[in-house]
Structure 1
Amino acid sequence: MKGLFQTKWSVISIAVLCSVLWGSAFPVLKISYEELQMAPDDIIAKIVFAGIRFLLAGVIVLAILLIINPKRIFITRRQLFVLVILGIVQTALQYFFFYNGLAKVTGMQGSILAASGTFFTVILAHYYYKNDRLNWKKSIGLTAGFIGIIIANWGQELRLSFDWDGEGFMILSGVTTAVATIMAKELATGIHPFAVTGWQLSLGAILMLVIGVPQISKDAITFSPLGWGLLIYLALLSSAAFGLWYSLLKYNHAGEISIYKFVSPVAGTSLSSIFVPGENLNVSIILAIMMVAMGIIAVNYPSKQVDQLKQKQVG
């Protein structure tokens, strides 16, 4: 099993699979909104739906951890406090913006706008870590990425479209992702990655359900067999992609696999154009995908200094 996560082509295949799974969430969510008859402006319905999904995903991750390493599922009081904070920021707040923002933009736009989290993380890391400063490669990547995000909101009529509760929420979701990434790295040291994700997903989801369930109207969400299937798929893709990704991180350098995250917006836009009615690829979207993908590759491309350090460590 260890070799599966170390062989070059299997590592690439698994990294690409994870990115495709994350990308597939965009069209699946758009279809889910229609199938479950959730109104675009119904914020509470989105909160409850996200809460159900991530509670299922969190429980699945914790169940996997219970099987592979039962002792790591237990946490201290201090760790519980940290995980509650992460649950609030990384699950409840981030996905409040994400779910409600995605309801107001297309699946293709959402796939591209969500990539802003990668770029905001690079910017925050520059100011927070002395050994993770911006260089010319990262600067070019950030420029290309943000240009792509702007182009994604440029319609066929060459008019810039931006609504705070649509594109704005997606950008805020990206900012929250970046903040949560730094917080998780700093606060969650010593906690097994599966425990971090499982607990913060579950705790954040419980908060969303506690807030949403008492306020939701009777017919806000109409479940159907297909709707349940889509919900279960979303929960499973989160837990599966997470499990595979962290298994890769365990045996490989982060930059070596993060570079394949460019596949996520490509998959998200492509799958949205195939499965979401009324969404079609156009020149601006294709150009935006290219710019964002180039940006993700550039900011994650390992520098010569990193390669030299790795060679010294191996020697």
Structure 2
Amino acid sequence: MKKEQLLGSNLMAIVACLLWSTAFVGIKIGIQYTPPLQFAGIRFMLSGLLIFPFIPNKSKIISTIRAHWRYMLLLALMQTVIHYALFYQGVSLIPSSMSAIIIGMGPMFVSLVSHFFSESDRMTRDKWISIILGIIGVIFVVFGKQKDSTTVNGFLTLVGVTLLLLTNLNSGFVNVLVKSKTAKIPPLLLTMFTMFVGGVGLFVAGVSVEGFAGFVFPAPYYYSLAWLSFLSAAAFSLWFTILQRPEVQVSEINLWKFLIPVSGAILSWVILPNEYPTLLAIIGMCFTAASLLWMNISSKRSK
């Protein structure tokens, strides 16, 4: 039974990563009309509302929140407010290729945090090999796909890189934090609360810093907002469900996130007229495939 559960968790992780890989296009469209923090805030508030109808045992929502409100509020602050504030500001300061590489290193940061803060999830030689192969794959895919003409300013670049490194570090703590509360809070309720409350926090912060942008925009804005709200609700619900399963190790499941830049590159080749496969990107995909293959083989061998 455990083998089937682990297979199901891996499939859910793949679906979540494929959903996340479609976010970049939607974000680029949305921030053309709305400042980043306000756009992210609206997006996550809608995501939380989308999840609400699917929460089981709605009569227990209030009592569950009362019992765990400190933990849930901390998670909303870390997962939504801090994470996306750092992410949007960091991406705005450095070239997109550099941003993609740093964010692509996320699984390494998650594994390191898990190693130091979770006794049952230590780093091993096989995990290091998978991480290194995955990072090499991300670098090749990014440089084979992106064409950046952004002017690089030394100080701003340093600030942007630091913000994105903090984003990855924060993501590691969030994953360990969710894992530590296994089976105590229904994952859909946890996701809904995190999305909605965090979205409110982002929106309020955005209005305070950026000024209110209004709500009257052309149709593409609302299409992108609708898709981003759906994918956030679906992907984070799947991810929180996975992390609360006892058979899942945080460091191993996060290696599937190396799929995100690969899937994003393929989507851009299919959808965008001026995008096409390059030799570097294909080499990068081979490294990513090797990383995930090594992870699965080593996991089966250890068990």
TM-score, normalization: structure 1? 0.74
* Other-structure match for 2:29: 31
Partner Cα distance (1:301, 1:28) in 2: 35
- Structure 1 distance, partners of 2:9, 2:77, is 32
Q: CA deviation at 1:210?
A: 1.8
SS of match in other structure, 2:119:
coil
In 2, Cα distance between equivalents of 1:242 and 1:248: 10
Q: CA deviation at 1:145?
A: 3.3
**Shift in alpha-carbon separation, 1:28–1:277, aligned structure 2, 3 A:** farther
Is 1:196 the counterpart of 2:190? The answer is: yes
The answer to which of 46-55 and 78-87 deviates more is: 78-87
Q: Is the 8 A contact 1:119 1:145 kept in 2?
A: no
In structure 1, how many angstroms separate the alpha carbons of the residues matched to 2:47 and 2:263?
21
State the distance in 1 between where 2:198 and 2:234 align: 19
Match of 1:240 in 2: 234
- Indicate conservation of the 8 Å contact 2:72/2:193, yes or no: yes
Other-structure match for 1:19? 17
Identity, % of aligned positions: 27
In 2: Cα distance, 1:208 partner to 1:94 partner:
10
Q: Show structure 1 runs of 5+ residues with no match.
A: 39-44, 308-315
Offset at 1:199? 0.8
Structure 2 CA distance for aligned equivalents of residues 189 and 46 of structure 1? 34
Counterpart of 2:165 (choices 126, 151, 171) is: 171
Matched, 1:131 2:120: yes
Measure the CA separation in 2 of the matches of 1:249 and 1:179: 13
Count residues with an aligned counterpart.
Answer: 289
Secondary structure of the residue that 2:21 maps to in structure 1? helix
Task: Give 1:49's match in structure 2, choosing from 28, 39, 51.
Answer: 39
Q: Aligned with 1:303: secondary structure? A: helix
* CA drift at 1:180: 1.3
Amino acid at match of 2:49: V
Moved more, 214-223 or 91-100: 214-223
For the structure 1 residues 185 and 193, does the alpha-carbon distance in structure 2 shift closer, same or farther, using more than 3 Å as the test? same
Tell me, yes or no, if structure 1 residue 206 matches structure 2 residue 162.
no
CA distance in 1 between partners of 2:232 and 2:207 (Å): 22
Contact 2:136 2:287 in 1 (8 A): yes
Q: How does 1:31-180 map to 2 (within 5 A)?
A: 31-34=29-32, 36=33, 45-65=35-55, 68-74=56-62, 75-77=64-66, 79-104=68-93, 110-148=99-137, 163-180=157-174
Please tell me whether the aligned partners of residues 58 and 201 of structure 1 are also in contact (alpha carbons under 8 angstroms): yes
- The equivalent residue for 1:226 is 220
1:62 maps to a residue whose letter is F
Residue type at the aligned position of 1:70: K
Gaps spanning 5+ residues in structure 2: where?
Answer: none
1:18 counterpart letter in structure 2: A
Give, as a single letter, the amino acid of the residue that structure 1 aligns with 2:218.
S
Distance of aligned partners of 1:179 and 1:288 in 2 relative to their CA distance in 1, 3 Å threshold: farther
Corresponding position of 1:310: none
Instruction: Measure, in 1, the Cα distance between the counterparts of 2:186 and 2:208.
Output: 34
Classify 1:62/1:49 alpha carbon distance in 2 versus 1 (closer, same or farther; 3 Å): same
Matched residue type, 2:90: G
Give the Cα–Cα distance (whole angstroms) in 1 for the partners of residues 208 and 100 of structure 2: 31
Distance in 1, Cα, partners of 2:268 & 2:92: 14
Specify the alignment match of 1:311 in structure 2: none
Tell me how far apart the structure 2 counterparts of residues 298 and 85 of structure 1 sit (CA, whole Å).
35
The alpha-carbon deviation at position 96 of structure 1 amounts to 1.0
Other-structure match for 2:267: 271
Give the Cα–Cα distance (whole angstroms) in 2 for the partners of residues 104 and 279 of structure 1.
24
- Residues 104 and 215 of structure 1: CA distance in aligned 2, closer, same or farther (over 3 Å): closer
More moved, 185-194 vs 93-102: 185-194
Per-residue CA distance 1:87-122 (angstroms, 9 max, x = gap): 111111111122233345666665554332222111
Residue 187 of structure 2 contacts residue 241 of structure 2 at CA under 8 Å; is this kept in 1? no
Secondary structure at the residue paired with 1:254? coil
For residue 179 of structure 2, what is the aligned residue in structure 1?
185
SS of corresponding position for 2:184: coil
For residues 273 and 108 of structure 1, what CA distance do their matches in structure 2 show? 16
